[in-house]
A and B are shown apart, each in its own frame.
Chain A
Amino acid sequence: MTETNAEHKHPGTGTYVTIAAVLTVITLVEVGVFYVPAFEAFLAPILLTLSAAKFALVVMFYMHLKGDHPLFTAILTIPMLIAFGVAIALLFLFGVFTLGGSGA
């Protein structure tokens, strides 16, 4: 059976606006955290977590992956994991990350 918009249920306007509000709040928190010296030690994990949350919200609700066919999720996720793995490998290879020792 072919998938069409009639068959594929999308969220309503209320959900879209709520997601936009949440994305705005997360962005404000990101910028706020950036300027607060107390968070400096934890800046990277906090910002990466918030960024991942925004990414997931857009992909799940605006790109409709939440209710869509799992094949689309796989087509996005597998290259993303490869890209992430390549990035981590390059960071180790060029000495930005090291295993227990000092960088190159």
Chain B
Amino acid sequence: MSAVAHHTSTGLDNRKLAMWTFIGSECLLFGTLISTYLVYQGQSLSGPMPGEILDIPLTSISTFVLLMSSLAMVLALAAVTRADRLWSRVWIFATAALGLVFLGFQAYEFTHFVHEGLTIKTSLFGSTFFVLTGTHGAHVAVGVLLLLTLLVRSFQGKLGPDKAMVVEITGLYWHFVDVVWIVIFTVVYLLS
């Protein structure tokens, strides 16, 4: 069964168009935050420096976790589209769980940094790092909430193939969060 048709002047689904527009605006938000990080890079006067404190192996694992969550997300969409209730629930749960694991890594990293003396007020590096990665983490947390909402809707029997567009739109948001991390991982962690 196909999704309910909404007639629009563009011929495109309004909800999907809205999500892409939102993602476009988010590009500018994260572009600004990443620019700010780069502008102030290497200008800290005190506190732990990036090379002393960033844990590349640990962050590589959390990056892998987020990449795998994107795989789970597309598999969830495929399962919803073919009306496979069991596997749609499994993959939506897996995506949310991997998102939570990523947030766990970030919470551990932030706690470790604070114990090492790096806070948002310590230095330019601390301020720009925590604002950038914290904003990304907040986006991941919102994504996890959206996924858990989808999971509840699925258990209520309200997430059939006719709602595939809702899952696709949630997926767009989730994948965007993933691609932002791809950039952050390179710029903040590997190139610092």
How close is B98's CB to chain A, nearest CB, in angstroms?
12
The interface residues of chain B lying within 8 Å CB-to-CB of A2 are 3, 5-8, 11-13
The interface residues of chain A lying within 8 Å CB-to-CB of B41 are 96
Evaluate contact between A16 and B20: CB separation under 8 angstroms.
Answer: no
How close is B23's CB to chain A, nearest CB, in angstroms?
6
Evaluate contact between B178 and A58: CB separation under 8 angstroms.
Answer: yes
How close is A69's CB to chain B, nearest CB, in angstroms?
6
- B182 CB within 8 Å of chain A: yes
Evaluate contact between A63 and B56: CB separation under 8 angstroms.
Answer: no
Q: A5-B2, A30-B190 are in contact. Are A79 and B67 (CB under 8 A)?
A: no
Evaluate contact between A79 and B182: CB separation under 8 angstroms.
Answer: no
Cα distance A18–B57 when bound, in Å? 24
- Report which of A5, A27, A80 forms a contact with B64, defined as CB distance below 8 A: A27
Evaluate contact between B74 and A5: CB separation under 8 angstroms.
Answer: no
Cα distance A16–B67 when bound, in Å? 12
Cα distance A48–B3 when bound, in Å? 39
Chain A: how many interface residues by the 8 Å CB criterion? 51
Cα distance A44–B172 when bound, in Å? 29
Nearest-CB residue, chain A, relative to B60: A31
Q: A10-B77, A10-B78 are in contact. Are A62 and B175 (CB under 8 A)?
A: yes
Number of A-B contacts defined by CB within 8 Å: 157
Interface of A (DSSP majority class): helix
How close is B53's CB to chain A, nearest CB, in angstroms?
16
- B46 CB within 8 Å of chain A: no
Nearest-CB residue, chain B, relative to A2: B5
Cα distance A79–B176 when bound, in Å? 14
Evaluate contact between B67 and A87: CB separation under 8 angstroms.
Answer: no
Evaluate contact between A4 and B13: CB separation under 8 angstroms.
Answer: yes
- Report which of B8, B57, B75, B187 forms a contact with A13, defined as CB distance below 8 A: B75
- Report which of B39, B161, B171, B186 forms a contact with A94, defined as CB distance below 8 A: B39
The interface residues of chain B lying within 8 Å CB-to-CB of A4 are 2-3, 5, 13, 164-165
Q: A5-B168, A55-B179 are in contact. Are A76 and B31 (CB under 8 A)?
A: no
Cα distance A58–B74 when bound, in Å? 10
Evaluate contact between A76 and B32: CB separation under 8 angstroms.
Answer: no
Evaluate contact between A3 and B11: CB separation under 8 angstroms.
Answer: yes
8 shortest A-B CB distances, which residue pairs? A83-B31, A6-B2, A51-B186, A79-B24, A4-B3, A20-B71, A87-B35, A2-B5
